[in-house]
Structures are given as C-alpha cells and as structure tokens.
Structure 1
C-alpha cells in the first residue's frame, strides 16, 4: 500500500515538473511553422532538410552535402539520431519539418527530469530521493552560468541540442547500467542505450565509458561488460568505423581550451566546490569504515580536508587582496586597487597567500591527525562534513535570496534586503544552527553511525569514478584536440547527485511516510521557485529561437536576397545548385535577418552553395574557408584563433576562381570600401544595409583545366602544407597533388614533375596545359558530378572538396589537389564522379546489420527455449564456461594493479594536460603580465625592476617563439610584438627591429602587417631624430646623411602600412604619425639649408617631404594590389 502511494506521489510530482517545463517554455512556440534560429541552432534546419530531402531518399544516413565548405560529408562526423527523430515524423506523418525539429531540440530538456528519476530509481534510491533528484535536475538545467558547455537550457538553445539529448539518455543509462551490473541483466538494453548515447554525442559517450571501470572495480564479471560493449559497438559500427578511419586528415580538429579556467584561482574554486559537495557523503563513508580499522579511508579524508582548507583559505585570501577583481583572468590580471584590506596591506600579503593558505589547510587537518588513532576520529569526520554541508546551504540560500530580491521593484526595499549584514545574520545564523545541530545532536550522531554502516558504498564509488574520469578527460582534452568544457557538465551532474541524492538518501528515506511525501513536495516546490526567480535568459532565448527567421525584423530583406540569388543564373541552369558559389562577410551585423549565422544556410533558403557552415570540425576545407573569409571580412570570427588574412581584395580573384565564387554579400562599410576600389568587383544590388557584389571575373565553371600542369607533392602532411600554400595566392596557379594518392601509372605519367616544397614553384609555370578551344559542360548534384570535355587526357580540376568516398567512371582515379579540391584525368569525353560507400562504411554497415540480426535472433530464441540445466549443456559450452571462469579469476586478481595503473596514468594525463595545454595563450598571458609589470615599475621610476620584468618577459616567450613554426595561433604574433616592445623599452632597438622584420617575413598575409610596419617606421624615425640632434659642424654631413637614410626607410615603412594593410587601424595610425611628422620635416629642411652641406641633402630632404605629402593625400594612393612582402614564392 505504501509503495503504491509513493508511486502515485512520484507520478504526480514528475508529471508536474515536466508540465512546468512545458508551461515555462510555452510549447505553442513549437507549433510555429517557422525556421528555428539562434546561435548554432540557426543552421540546424538546413542539416535536417538535407537528411530528409537528399540522404534518406537515396537510402543513406550519411552522404555528401554541396551546401558548405565546397562540399563536405554530412553526418559522417556528426550525430544522426536526433536529426533522424525529427525527419521521420515529417516524412511519415506529413508534419512540417520545421515543427518536428523544434520538438526534438526541446526533447532533451523535457526528458531530463524523467530520465534522472528512472536512473536514480534503478540505482535503488528510495522514495522520495528519485523525485528529489529530478527536482535538482531543474537547477542543473537552468544553470545560466555558461552558454556552450552543454546539458543546460542556454547551451541547448545555442545549438548543443544533440548533447542535451544524449545527456538525458546518459542519466537514464547510469541507473540502467548500475542495476544491470548488480543483477547481470539488461545486457542488450544497456548495450543499445550505450551505443545510442555514442551516436547522439561522443562527448557524453566518453563519460559513459568510465562507468565500465566502476563496474570492473565493483566486481562485475568481464563477460557482462564485454557483452554490453559489443552490443554498443554493433549499434555504432556503421558510423564509428568510417569516422575513426577518416578523422585524419579529412576533418579539422577544434582545439578549444577554456582559458578562463586555466589559473589557480579558478582551479581552487572548482576544487573547493567539489569538496564542499562531496565531503558530507565522504565523511559518512569514512565513519562506516572505522570499525574495520582501515587506515586508507582515514588518510584519504585527512588529505581531502587539507585540500579543502587550503582551497578555501586561498580563495578567501585572494578576495581580501583583490576584492571584486578576484575573478579577473587572462590579460586582465586582478589588481589590488579594490582590496578589502587596503592596497598596501594587500601588496604585502600577496606573496604569502600560498604559504598562509597551506598553513590554514594544515591547521584544519591537525585535529584529524591528532585523532587518527583514537576512537573519536568520527567526530572530526562529522565536523568537517557538517561545515561543508552548512556552507553549501548558506551559498544556496544566498543565491536564491539574490534571485528573489532582484525581482523586487522597490529600490529602497531591495537595497535593505540585499545588505550583506542582513544576509549574514539571516542565513548565517540559520546555517550556524544547522552546523550546531549536526555536531552536538547525539541522536543525529547515532543516525550517522547507523547509516554509515548501511549506506551502499558502490553508488558512491560510481559517482566518484565518474567525477575522476571527467576530471581526467578535461585535462586530456589537450591531447585529444577537443573542447575541454564538454566534460564539465557530467562532472557537475555527478557532484549534484552526490550532494542532493546520495548524501540525503539514508537520512530522508528512513523517515516516516508523511515526512517523506512532504519532503518530496517541498524539494519540487523550491526547485520550481528557484527557476522562476533565478532564470533570466532561458525564456527569452527560447522564444527568440522558436519565433524563427520569419519573425525577424530584417527577414523581408533576407528573403529578397535569397530570391535574387536563386534566380541570378536561371538562364544558364534552372537548378541553383549548379550556379557559382556565394560568399558572405563574417560579421555581427546579421541579427536583424535572424542570426549571425544566417548565410550558412544559403542552400536551404536560396539553393546556392556557400563557404563556411555549421560543421566546421567535419570538413577538410574549414581552415581554408576561414582564411578566405578573412580576406573579405572586417571581423575575424572563427572557432580557432589561427593566424588568418588581412582584408585583401587583391587576393580574392585567385581564390574566387579556385572556388567558383560569383557573388559576395557584404555588410560593413570597411569591406564595401575595399571592394569598391577594385576593378574586379562591382556592386550589383542593395538590400537594406546588405550589399551584393559580383566578381566579374567568375567563369561559372565547377570543372576546369588549370593553366599550369599540376605537380606531384611528396610531403607527408599534405593538408597542413597545402594550407601554407594557400596563404600565398600569387603561387596558387601551380596546383599540387599528393604523390601517394596517384597510384595509376598512366596518371603518374601526366603529373611528371614532383616537389617536396609548397613554395618556390615558379620553375613549373613554363609547363602550360593546352586550354585552346576548351569546352566543358558539367552538372552537379549532391551525390554525383557529371561533365563532358573535349580535352581528355589532361588534368581537370573539380572545384569540390576531396573525400575518399568519391569514385569515378571515365577516369582512372580521383585525387586530392591543393587546396583541398579534386582532380581527375579524363580518359573519355564523359566523366561521372559518384559519392559511393567507402570500404570502411561497408564494413561498418555489415557489422551493424549482421550483429543486430544475431542479437535479435538470440533474443527471439531465448524466449522460445526454456533454460537448460547444467547437465543438459553440451561439453563445449561447459569448457567455454570454465575458460571464462579462469579469465574472470585472473581479472579479479588484477583489480588492485589495474586500479593503481589507471590512477597513475590519470595523474600523468592530468599533470601533463595542465602543464602543456594552451601553450601559446598561456605564454602570451605570462609574458604580457611581465611586460605590464615592467611598464608599471618604470612609471614608478623603479628602472632596475622594470628592466628585470622586461627581460623576464622576453625569456618567458622565447621558447614559444623559437618553436613558432609549429603553432598556427594568433598569440604567437602577440608574443612577437610583446617581445619587440620589451626590447624597445630596454633600449635594444636592433633586437626589436629584428622581431618586427621576422613578423613581416613569416606572416606577410596577416592582420599584423600594418602594426609591424608602423613600429618599424617609428624606430627608423627615432633614429633619424637622433641623427638630426645638434652636433659640431665636422660631424654634420655624416649625421645628416644617416638621418636622411633612416627617414627614407621610415617613410617606406609608413607607405607599406598604408598600402599593404590599408583597412586596418594601423594604417590610420600611420597617417596620424605622418601628419605629426610633417611640421618636423619642414623645420629639418630649414636647418639643412642653413648648414654648409652638399646640395644633394637639400634635394633629398625635399624629395622626402614630397613623398610624405603624397602619402597624406589619400586620394593619390591606389588600391593595394596583391601584396606578398618578403614572399616565399
């Protein structure tokens, strides 16, 4: 009867939580037949539409998409099930895909409380703890402190809906897997669920793997774990095998380390949070082990308390020293100007923060050390756990109080209620009371000791292994080249479950029926109240996204652009997919159209192909497309901080010809000015603030014969090397083909030249291909490219990205060619390229199909047959069982050694990841802080300290700069500039000059060319000023000669800044400098005329003055041509 009542309450509360989500997120918005937008979400409709309209009708789940990146393998490297879940109802039931996609995006959020509930219930948590966990999951969902980590509302609305969907399955899998390992059942169910998580999101799949290690430590038989893993592999094989085979070199790994967390203060905050949330449960666990006289739990708890005390003391000390600037990070290092204890005292305390904090940590641990061998060690455990519990309650109460008072409209009342003293007295007193009860109550002490003996340790082990695995994965992200932040949500979830579920369960579940029901209702009520008062952005983001593009203020203009583009080449070919590509400027000005990523979906809206799309990591072309987009974009907007191009209209014809681009959408005045000054572009149409430019040199061909015979490239890392080749457009007429791909003897004979370098290709230009009377007709579809040519036997460039799945009829092979396109040598007039299934794809499909057949057959046969007795089992089966028993026995014996090996390996990965991750960023930040310290000391007239800081900065950045060729990262250039400025401050102008020249030599295409030239010009200008200083008459001629020489070099550098990097702010600085210099030069001219020197000096001075005037007359400066200073060609 009681069980039934509990089930009714659970059902009521769980239904209420789900209903609350559906009311809070007004589900009527999900019924709007509009294209969903918002962040990355703005591009998901095009992906889903491609699955529905191209891939599924061709019997595929993965296939080619011509829409972005010059074509890319859609779903080969992304997650299929969530999109399939949206497409199937649309295809089968006729529901608009726009609506089904919105529901699937929200499904992970709506499922999460129920998934948490059933997961916890399968783990054996008693009423009302599973529904309390569901209530806590609301707080987890509505945590608005981050927007792209995953598994919360904001991340989901920003585009991480596959992660949210997988995370809901993960919460379910935790409970199902735990129950399965305990009872050795549900092997197939858990395997399918595990595989489904992997298919939905790999970054959730990795934490799920850690549960297998928990099960192994917990005594689960290997045969069960292998069975679950085998079923999961069968489910994933069709997708995971080709993904693993083609990840390198056909993808672009996104190395993303969240730099804000890479400092000791944030690390200590995370560590303290972990300790506060887990210490109460850990204390109960240690108390339960005291009777066994084991030392390891005691020592572990002492270390735990030492770390907790140290972390708390360190953070409190930093708060006293830095005040509200405590969380400043990166280049904005906290200053002591806002110190709570006063600036002077803070400066004196700052060097001692670490030793003082360590001393506090040792002081916290000291009572435990004293009681280590005494019977009342449990008192120390209970005290530390109670302090942590009270601290969490205090922090939570203060947070909820802040949210509630923030909604009060009466300013005076809000100020009174927000007073730190009021909060400290109200909640501090309450939490002190909790602490006193937990420490002084004999009844509570007896309960703790009782529950400590009865509480299952394996559930704590599960959460601990999951947390430890997530921490290891977080630091290992450096080696995996993946975003480290993806492993923080499962870590946070485990922490929440330990505190809100595993810690409370023995105390709440032993209470009476009425109290347990009341506690369940109270937990759900408080969670709903916290969401209502605490969530600020979630509702607005949801409504904005689901209103869709069509309700954006600028949508009519956007629709007009797409109508124009769709029909622009209608006469040539009615299918807009065969029209040339359309490029768009990357900037933040597309919000009125529905989102900054609106033009990524050009294929969906206009039928035209474009460049960068949503699946940046899933394309070989991503880096190349990012580079060309910076050539015509004012802003740099890329996932990776690479060293990309300046605005360079002169380079565009070469790259537009390579990609067959005819139109360019531009929003900023800077780029409009750049294109208007080029005779290769003309403004064709205007749509509000958006200008549409046509590249008048576009030939409209997706298949073409290059001017120069391509050359075989013998280097190993051809993708990286081709990217270097691409940065110098003046050499892009000589195409390169990776040598190892050309296996056909006849085709190798056509590519008769070879090289191991991507530069110095001029010697190959004399080998021209016969393009006379060339006639090519082509037709492009997503999965097929067909063309006819009158020039068989010579190389044909296909302006579509290369991937191994492309097969050809009418030629001997399909070869990658620089930058990342395809090349064929036709052996007949008609050539057809087909996107086929690769060997790895076929192998994966075979494993999945055959494996699922056997799994279903075995399940069906098991239902038909009754279990056999041991005597009825055949001898072979008994021998197999004996063999497995031997394996299990050895596996059990190896557990301690495997555990030690895993701990040591994880510790190494954590330490190495912490030491080596984000090296360019960390080096620049460290060097910049020292540079800043040097300037500060110089302002204080502490010249020796200033010089010391500058020299330390140079030494700090030197190792990175010595190895700079290995890093394509903007902070390498920032280190070059900072190093040069340090040398300037030290009076070492020659060293500074060398670094500026190195920058121009190594990165002549970058947005730092103007800065380097201006700083070189200033060095030369200052040298000229020094030479013009008054001296005796015998030295005048020599010094005037040298001064004029330096001034000529200075003006030359100013001209380079203005002409080569004309659209940067440094071009403006150059002009400002020249204006200031004009009067000085007039005075120098007079001084020279007074000296009895050669007339040539006066002529040179007048010539320099005229050159300066020409520079200041901006109308006389022509648009920059294709520039490559210090070219490598």
Structure 2
C-alpha cells in the first residue's frame, strides 16, 4: 500500500512538473524559440556573437578561451566570463541551427529552476507534497517583475543574465544534494562534479554555495563534514582548474565594477506577487523552528542579506545576492505545512489547488513577460527596422579597416536592443569600440570616456571614473588614438555638430541614422611614434592612464608602464617617419616596418598572453595599448596560452584522474593506492590533522572565528565610514542637501584628498567649492574652482564649474572676470545647458 502511495505521489509530481513546463511554454512560445532568427533584447543581443566566435574560431583550435578583437580594442574572451551556457549552446548547434541553440540555451535556467527546486526539497527529505509545492512556488520568483537587472527572474534572464539564471537553478540542486550528501556521507562524485559545473555557470552562485556550506561546520560532526566539504570542493575546483586558474590570475587585468546598489523601495525587494509567500516563509520559521532543515534555510537567507550589505566593502557586487534572498524565502514558504501534513487529508489534491492559485496569481500580476519574450525571440530579422539595420551593416561591411564608433542613444533600441551596434563584428565584420563584457577589458573606461564626448545621452557606467561632456574637439585625438574611421550619429544635436565640423564628412544616410567619415584618421592599427615616451613605475597605472587620456592632445608624450628603458624613448622628428603596414587577425598581428629605430604603437588592448617575435618584449602603454621596440622589420604578435593556463590544465587532468579512481570500474587500481595518500590529496586532511583540531576543540575554533568576523565587520564599517568614497559621498550629499555646508566641506574635501575613486573625487571637487560658496567663503571657493578646472579641464562637471566660478566673481563684484568666465562656458561648452544659463547671465550683466 505504501509503495502504491509513493508511486501515485511520484506520478502527481511528474504531472505537475509537466504542467509547469507547459505553463512556461505558454509564455515562451515555440513560435519564437524555434524560429531561425538572431535574438535581440538588452544584453542578450550582444551575447550571440560570443557563441559564434566560440564555435567557429575557438573550437577549431581546441580552445574555449581566446582573444576577441571586435570590441573594446580587443579583450580576452572567457577569461572573465562564464563559458558553460555557451559551451552547451555550441554543442547543441552541431545538431540544430545556432540561432535556435542560442535561444534554448538562454531559457534553460528558467525551465530548470522548478525541477531543481523540486530535487532540492527531495534531497532535504521533505515529504510529499512539499517538494512539488516548492517547485510551484519557484514560478512566483521567476515571474517577479520588481526588477530586470538583479538576476534569476525571467526579466533579468531576458535582459542577458542567462548564465546567472542557470547557475541559480543548479545552486538549488546542490543546496539540497550537499545537505543529503553530508548527512548520509554519499553523493561525493555527484556533488564534486556539480560544484565544477556550477563554477562554470557563474562565480556568484558558486561563491554563495561555498559560504552557505559553512553551515555544516555548526553540527555534531564538524570534522567529518569539513573533510567532506574539502573533498567535494577540492575535486570540483580541480576539475575546472583549466578555466578557473586563468580566471583568477586574470583578475589583475579586469576593470572593477563594484558599488553599493541603491534599492529605492521596499516593494522592489518584496513586490506584491512575492509578499504572500514571504508571509508563508515567516510562518514556516515559526512553526518549524526546531527543524534542522529550517535552520539551513534561515542561515542561508540571513547570509544572502549579510553579503548584500557588506559585499561592496570587499569587492563584491551586492545586488547579485538579493535574488538568493527572494527565491529562498519563496521556496521556504512551502515548508510551512511540515507539521500539519498528518492532519491534511487531501494531500494528493493540494498541489493541484496550489498550482491553480499560483498560475492565477501570475496571470494577474505578470504584465511584461510575454511582450519581452516576443521582443527578444522574434529576432533582429523580424523587427520593422531590420531593413534599415541591414542596410547600415551591409554598408559598413564594405568600409575601411578602422573601427566604427556609434552614438549611444536609447533610440538604438528600435533595432531590438540599445546595444545593437555592439554586434557590428558579427553583422558587418567590423570592429567597434563598445561591447558587452566591459569588466573583461582594461580598455573599457577609455571607451566610455569617448562615448561621453560623442553622445548626447551617454551612460557613464563606471562610478569610479569621471567623464566628459559632449565635445567633438576633445574627442578627435581620442578617435585617432583608437583608429576610428566612421561615426554613426542618431540624435539631431550630434548630427548638427558633425555636419558643422570640417574633419567629418557625411558618407551615408539610412533612416534616422547618418554615417560620417572621420577624415583625420589614418585607418592604421599600428603606427610609429615620433613623440617622447615617459617610463612610469606607478603603483596604479589605471588612474595615471585615465588622467593622461582625459587630457590627451595630439603630440603628447605616451606613458610606458614599465621599469626598464630603451634608447628609443626620445622624440625622433629629424628622421623620416617609416611606412608601417599591419594585418590584424583574430589572435595574431603581423607588422612590417620600414625603420626599426621607431617604436610602434599597437592600438590593441594589452594583455600578458600576447607574445612577440621580432621585438624583445611588449610594453603596456597609455591608455591601455601595446608598444614594441622592433628589432626586425617583420614582427609577429600572437595571443597564446600563458603558464597559468598550462598549470590549470595540469590540475584538471589530476582532477579527472581522481574522479576516475572513484568510479566502480577502477576499484582495483584504487585499492593499490594508499587510501590515506588519496584522502590527503583530495581533502588536505588526515587523522593527525583531525586530531589537532579536536585537541583545540571545535567550539573554541568557532568562537574564535566569530570574534574574528566581528572584528572584521567593525573594521569594514570603520573603513567604509571614513575611507570608502561611495559612503563618504553619500554622507556628503546628505549634508549638502540638508544645507549643512560645514560638514559637506569636510566630507567632500576628504574624498578629494583620498583620490581613491576618480569619479567620486571629480564630483566632490566641484561640490567642495559649491559648499564653500554656500557659506560665503568666496575667496576660498575661487581657489577651489580654479584648482578643479585645472585638474579637470573637460569633465562632465567642468561646464558647471566655469559657470559657478563666474557667479563667484559676480558675488565678489569682479564683473569683468565674471563676464570672461561666462564667455568661456559659451565658447567651450556649446552643447550643454550651462551655455544657455551663461547667455542669460551675460545678457543681464551687459
């Protein structure tokens, strides 16, 4: 009878999982998922070329990591992004068209989440119908429309976070399997392989699983649990070392993007659709607080909030941990009925009732998912603007070899994504500046500075860098530096500025877009340098390079970030500039120079994996390019694996051998090896180690760890309050907004002095002067404004600084100087609102 009941429960579970899939397909129509079109929508559109590059360029070389030239002046692909989703898509594309494989890969995490949540609760040994109810509840999280950028839910996935989505699903699977494996001392290989797979999905989900697993150290069997965790995580990391070790080593060559995410409303965290399930979660905590599984959930929920609040202080993007909080509380709500199960008679009917209620709730609250799915998966080719977009791409495909710059504009979304032109390397086989994987590139801050100089509505993505206001004059040296030959303009302001500038020539009009040729560009990726080179041994080359770039003019000296020197570092104006030709390929650069006396600037991003023949070494040169001193007239640069790549491969081979030794077919070989040796190799532990820990006592260790953590949090709080620019600026803005200008001067001045964050220091410099003005300290304010303008002659805040400088002169009765400062605003910043303000003041003064 019990077996029959179990079979019926399993059948009900499978039926409901099938109905959940059907429900999801009601939104993710096969009409769009199975159409052979190129996916659009947010970041997702820019991911497609990555798949194409992986399959067509890297796979034939036997690699999954390499160099991509198309965006950000080149960047290392998959050295700072997660390859698993793309690997699955690429493999699937050998069977079905690549466009369809990509679409299926992007929704895989969505369809897997209910299944993985169900499996999680089964591993946690919750009785029927709790696992299937938890799976149903997970739909509520998926259809939550409170955000579209945090990750995990459908809108975030459609916006491009599909790797995170898959990682979140696998997190729940391993969240349950680790609990079961540790409790039963089973699933060693399953969990080890799962950890490896999770790591290649998304680093955040792996990190969170790792810290969540510390829960098992607070148990009656801490030593045994620790050995199990070291074993599965150790083997898991060995298996992915071929990718993970290069990933970690490459962190020194990425651009940090960490800041405290501002959540402006309680309803963003717990929107109306999630709120009832939060209440269920609270009831589950009250009713089942003695249940160890509840402790596991509550510990992990609390951990997600803790990391959210302290994450930015330790270099972690906090918002990626909020989806864990949301999904965990929704799923945990299903456990409310644990103690009531024996009294519930219609347990077989209950999941169907719950499913219908959840389906109706989703139908009532979800308003955007269907439209977003259609927008993404009907593809570029089905948009009404496709003919216009195709015309532009076909035109660029026949163009010069230089890079294509485009104006950043929300209007670009008409093609299917605001980032549509990031796919020029795919559609037109042309290199452009901007791209999706901005953290993977050391060049991205400079690219976004150019964007601010050439767009009416730039995005300013990095808060730790300052930006410019619109200025073609300031942009021209930068465009030449980046070998920009063509410029796509969208807005009226930018078109008018280009039309009035003799250095740009209109080449083509297509719909609302105009293409201008930049006449001052050489269309060369490699050029001989005739200016002086300055060798720099700075401790922070990024800040120095960015300041250099912000003020760069034609003829300026370049900064070479190296200890050594070369005799060819001085200007060579009395020699005839040699003819230099180059061929830029995917992972190689062929150069021919007519004179080896001239150093060569290679307008491609620097990375240590670039190797050179025909020169002694490759130097990092401002802004973030490569410089060589040729020893031969024929030079070849190739992007190759580094030593850390081979170390990673060796560790992965070791991991595979250890994995094989655990399989039943290798029992004899395993018995021939020393069990103690094998255990030490996998876990780093042996009996003597355990004895030492026991001698100390796990309680003492945990108390010591708690004290250390409390001290660490206190230090983090002190540091953030007094030395972290983000939090200092928050306090300074609050003081300024409440007219506490004395405090504002102190805080803004501290940010300026720290120079820890270039973007914050730039803004703080202006508001430091404004705060002095507000106190009537005009003489000090004049000095502060002058100092700001000297340091930031063309930043976003500079037009306002000139305007406020003029106002300060007025306040001091120095009318002539005020008029001159207002005229500087009109002359130097004609495309800003400050020009209009200055004209009004000038009219009154005259």
Match of 1:79 among 57, 67, 82: 82
Q: 1:889 to 1:27 in 2, by over 3 A?
A: farther
Matches within 5 A, 1:1053-1092: 1053-1078=821-846
Taking the aligned partners of 2:374 and 2:820, their CA distance within structure 1 comes to: 56
Q: Residue deviations 1:1060-1106, cap 9 Å, x none?
A: 2221100111112222333xxxxxxxxxxxxxxxxxxxxxxxxxxxx
Taking the aligned partners of 1:1056 and 1:770, their CA distance within structure 2 comes to: 38
121-130 or 466-475, larger mean C-alpha shift: 466-475
Matches within 5 A, 1:516-915: 516-569=347-400, 579-641=401-463, 642-730=465-553, 733-740=556-563, 742=564, 748-751=565-568, 767-768=571-572, 772=576, 774-862=578-666, 884-891=686-693, 894-908=697-711, 910=713
Taking the aligned partners of 2:136 and 2:25, their CA distance within structure 1 comes to: 15
Aligned to 2:339: 506
Is it true that 1:989 corresponds to 2:757 in the alignment? no
3-state SS of 2:145 partner: coil
Taking the aligned partners of 1:113 and 1:556, their CA distance within structure 2 comes to: 40
3-state SS of 1:159 partner: coil
Taking the aligned partners of 1:240 and 1:712, their CA distance within structure 2 comes to: 33
Match of 1:44 among 32, 47, 59: 47
Q: Residue deviations 1:392-435, cap 9 Å, x none?
A: xxxxxxxxxxxxxxxxxxxxxxxxxxxxxxxxxxxxxxxxxxxx
Q: Residue deviations 1:277-309, cap 9 Å, x none?
A: 6554444456x5xxxxxxxxxxxxxxxxxxxxx
Q: 1:770 to 1:558 in 2, by over 3 A?
A: farther
Q: 1:486 to 1:906 in 2, by over 3 A?
A: farther
Residues 255 and 478, structure 1, Cα contact 8 Å, conserved in 2 = yes
Q: 1:1013 to 1:155 in 2, by over 3 A?
A: same
Aligned to 1:447: none
Deviation of 1:921 after TM superposition, in Å, equals 4.9
Deviation of 1:861 after TM superposition, in Å, equals 3.8
Taking the aligned partners of 1:595 and 1:619, their CA distance within structure 2 comes to: 22
Q: 1:285 to 1:75 in 2, by over 3 A?
A: same
Taking the aligned partners of 2:248 and 2:484, their CA distance within structure 1 comes to: 33
Deviation of 1:619 after TM superposition, in Å, equals 0.5
Q: Residue deviations 1:76-110, cap 9 Å, x none?
A: 110101011111121x22x2211110111011001
Q: Residue deviations 1:952-971, cap 9 Å, x none?
A: 443444433443x222125x
Taking the aligned partners of 2:675 and 2:84, their CA distance within structure 1 comes to: 41
Aligned to 2:788: 999
Higher helix share: 1
Aligned to 2:201: 200
3-state SS of 1:777 partner: strand
Aligned to 2:296: 462
**RMSD of aligned residue pairs (Cα, Å):** 3.0
Q: 1:879 to 1:128 in 2, by over 3 A?
A: closer
Is it true that 1:112 corresponds to 2:113 in the alignment? yes
Aligned to 1:473: 307
Q: Residue deviations 1:111-143, cap 9 Å, x none?
A: 111111011101111100000100110011111
Q: 1:884 to 1:639 in 2, by over 3 A?
A: same
Deviation of 1:981 after TM superposition, in Å, equals 3.9
Deviation of 1:469 after TM superposition, in Å, equals 2.8
Match of 1:951 among 742, 746, 751: 742
3-state SS of 1:643 partner: coil
Is it true that 1:966 corresponds to 2:756 in the alignment? yes
Aligned to 1:304: none
Match of 1:1013 among 794, 799, 802: 802
3-state SS of 2:475 partner: helix
Match of 1:227 among 225, 231, 237: 231
3-state SS of 1:516 partner: coil
Residues 710 and 795, structure 1, Cα contact 8 Å, conserved in 2 = no
Unaligned runs of 5+ in 1: 289-455, 570-578, 743-747, 753-763, 935-948, 1025-1045, 1079-1129
Q: Residue deviations 1:576-607, cap 9 Å, x none?
A: xxx11111111212121222101111101110
59-68 or 26-35, larger mean C-alpha shift: 26-35
Q: 1:890 to 1:18 in 2, by over 3 A?
A: farther
Q: 1:640 to 1:480 in 2, by over 3 A?
A: same
Q: Residue deviations 1:251-271, cap 9 Å, x none?
A: 10101311236999999x9xx
Structure 1: 4+ residue segments shifted above 6 A: 262-267, 272-275, 864-868, 872-883
Residues 476 and 909, structure 1, Cα contact 8 Å, conserved in 2 = no
Residues 281 and 334, structure 2, Cα contact 8 Å, conserved in 1 = no
Taking the aligned partners of 1:619 and 1:659, their CA distance within structure 2 comes to: 15
Deviation of 1:163 after TM superposition, in Å, equals 0.1
Deviation of 1:722 after TM superposition, in Å, equals 1.2
Q: Residue deviations 1:339-361, cap 9 Å, x none?
A: xxxxxxxxxxxxxxxxxxxxxxx
3-state SS of 1:611 partner: coil
Taking the aligned partners of 1:541 and 1:526, their CA distance within structure 2 comes to: 24
Q: 1:545 to 1:275 in 2, by over 3 A?
A: closer
Taking the aligned partners of 2:381 and 2:676, their CA distance within structure 1 comes to: 70
Is it true that 1:238 corresponds to 2:271 in the alignment? no
Matches within 5 A, 1:233-632: 233-248=237-252, 250-260=253-263, 279-284=282-287, 456-457=291-292, 459-501=293-335, 503-508=336-341, 510-511=342-343, 514-569=345-400, 579-632=401-454
Q: 1:996 to 1:519 in 2, by over 3 A?
A: same
Taking the aligned partners of 1:882 and 1:181, their CA distance within structure 2 comes to: 18
Residues 729 and 764, structure 2, Cα contact 8 Å, conserved in 1 = yes
Taking the aligned partners of 2:812 and 2:123, their CA distance within structure 1 comes to: 78
Q: 1:163 to 1:1050 in 2, by over 3 A?
A: same
Residues 221 and 888, structure 1, Cα contact 8 Å, conserved in 2 = no
Taking the aligned partners of 2:110 and 2:684, their CA distance within structure 1 comes to: 47
Q: 1:795 to 1:658 in 2, by over 3 A?
A: same
Deviation of 1:927 after TM superposition, in Å, equals 4.0
3-state SS of 1:646 partner: coil
Taking the aligned partners of 1:866 and 1:1070, their CA distance within structure 2 comes to: 82
Taking the aligned partners of 2:241 and 2:420, their CA distance within structure 1 comes to: 34
Q: 1:596 to 1:910 in 2, by over 3 A?
A: farther
> What is the aligned length?
832
Taking the aligned partners of 1:793 and 1:983, their CA distance within structure 2 comes to: 53
Unaligned runs of 5+ in 2: none
Q: 1:275 to 1:839 in 2, by over 3 A?
A: same
